[in-house]
Amino acid sequence: MASRLDVADPGSISATADTAVAELGGIDIWVNNAGVYPSTPILQLSDDDWDRVIRINLTGTFSGCREAARRMVHAGRGGVIINVSSIAGIRGRGPGVSHYVASKHGIVGITRQLALELAEARIRVLAIAPTIIVTPGVQATQEGTDLERTLSGPLGRAGRPDDVARVALFCASDLSLFMTGSTLLVDAGEMAR
């Protein structure tokens, strides 16, 4: 089943959560994965540009957490909320992405805070922090670049969406049953450099 939503619209997120409860009988796992990655140097960064990135990346994640948690608490059977941050949420990323870095740091922070707030309801909250992953969007912005060579980390290859999905699966499963508030790096060792 698919449901279209706009993460910049809390009402849209709430409606999608209601649809999940109605069609699937509840929400056990919720993943906040939407985000944008524009590049604008700080001296040219407008308030509107800043607000758009924060609204989509951070406020959208917050709204998703809140709406999923409301339904999980109401159902009374716990659950897992997984937030996709970035290694930019652990450190800076380079020029032109101050709004993106701020939003991803915020996701790491809200993950920690909500892990504390929701623990009593048996809701675990985890974050995943990938490096740049080879996706159609990345390929479109890097046309003519050997992404496999450019983006390969210490493991010797570029990251793929499945690399992140496997960590999300771990977070969603009972294999991570004693984890909450953590941010898991999916970076092929880039942060170890």
Q: Which residues are catalytic?
A: 100
State how far the Cα of 100 lies from the Cα of 86, in Å rounded to an integer: 9
Tokens 């998703």: give the residue. 64
CA distance 17 to 11: 10
Residues, the chain, total? 193
Cα 120 from Cα 33, distance rounded (Å): 25
183 exposure class (CB count in 10 Å sphere: 0-12, 13-18, 19+): buried
Contact of 83 with 65, CB cutoff 8 Å: yes
Phi, psi of 74 (to 5 degrees): -60, -40
Please state whether 143 falls in left (phi above 0), alpha (psi between -120 and 50) or beta. beta
Amino acid present at 189: G
> The sheet that has 123-130: what strands, in order across it?
29-32, 79-84, 123-130, 183-186
